[in-house]
Amino acid sequence: MNVNELAALNVVEYNYQRSDDFIVILNGKEVKTITYYVQKSDLEVGLLPCDWYRDIILLGAKEHQLDAEYIKQFENLITVKDPENIDNKYVIK
């Protein structure tokens, strides 16, 4: 991401903490990434992602050719309808 994209992402992810040093394993190698996360103390039992958000994750996972089993887990993820998205402004195609 370029700096301009990150600034826009910060605006929409304002409820979350950001880590610029989050390590993931990609193709057997450690890669430093930026991620947004919920503080453990703020987690809600039974909290489910919105359907449109899951769809964004799926598109990215497929675009980057992540493991098929990993993608299947997201495809099977139980989601909720976003009450702020009743006009489907966040529909991902």
12-44 residue pLDDT tens: 887 888 999 999 888 889 999 888 888 777 777
57 and 89 both lie in a single domain: yes
52 and 90 both lie in a single domain: yes
35 and 53 both lie in a single domain: no
53's CB contacts (< 8 A; 6+ apart) are: 79, 82, 90
- What are 23's strand-pairing partners? 32
For residue 41, give the DSSP letter. G
36 and 55 both lie in a single domain: no
- Taking Cα atoms as reference points, which of 37, 1, 31, 4 lies closest to residue 18? 37
pTM, two decimal places: 0.60
Cβ atoms within 10 A of the Cβ of 75, count? 12
Q: Where are the alpha helices (DSSP H) in 1-64?
A: 3-12, 51-63
Residue 26's domain comprises 1-41
